[in-house]
A and B are shown apart, each in its own frame.
Chain A
Amino acid sequence: QKEVEQDPGPLSVPEGAIVSLNCTYSNSAFQYFMWYRQYSRKGPELLMYTYSSGNKEDGRFTAQVDKSSKYISLFIRDSQPSDSATYLCAMISNQGAGSYQLTFGKGTKLSVIP
């Protein structure tokens, strides 16, 4: 079992839909959870960052973390064509002795159709 599992999609939704993107993980040492957005032929950029179980909201985006189920989600409300991108989940684990490791999911490609 890979450390971080993410459905690669592709996912296609109509404009205005609610989008749910998900990742599961197996390593209990993951402490910090992120979602990056990557537009075509660009570098990833941070969208959401959280380190505790529960929900974090930023505009139309909500990040949800459930550490007991080892499951994180990103919800996009009122999706727009400009949200069309690949969304990568990422998690940081404490390796001990001040060392941390960032692990990315494979990414989910989202298309929002006008």
Chain B
Amino acid sequence: NAGVTQTPKFRILKIGQSMTLQCTQDMNHNYMYWYRQDPGMGLKLIYYSVGAGITDKGEVPNGYNVSRSTTEDFPLRLELAAPSQTSVYFCASSYGATDTQYFGPGTRLTVL
């Protein structure tokens, strides 16, 4: 049982490039989330999903897109990367809306 896994661990992008952050969970959780964490700013919700085929915006969705074609996977797409997207990105999952969220190890992204 690996829990929540994320790839890659680190990435450097140039301004305007695109990339996909991968997230997979093996706990059969319904809910999945993407957060970004900036120094001293806590965790901000980007997008979340309540099940396969259903996604919704969080607090800071601009510049990102998501899809959820399976229960296990919830990739985050960055189009036209900007320096403001330099951050640590965490994926999380939970069984229900008020249940414990389990976090992945994070992806450190730098946009230069």
Contact = CB atoms under 8 A, between A and B. Distances in A.
Interface string A4-16: 0010100000000
Give the size range of B's interface with the partner.
10 to 19
Interface stretch (B63-71, B75-83, B100-108): B100-108
B105 A42 contact: yes
Contact of A107 (B4, B42, B101): B42
Contact of A49 (B42, B45, B100, B102): B100
Main secondary structure of the interface of A (DSSP, over half): strand
A88 B42 contact: yes
A100 B4 CA distance: 21
A98 B56 CA distance: 14
B41 interface: yes
A88 B92 CA distance: 15
Given A45-B102, A102-B101, A106-B42, 8 more contacts: A8-B40, A32-B98, A43-B104, A43-B106, A46-B102, A99-B97, A104-B43, A105-B42
**3 nearest A-B pairs in the assembled complex, by CB-CB distance:** A43-B103, A106-B42, A100-B97
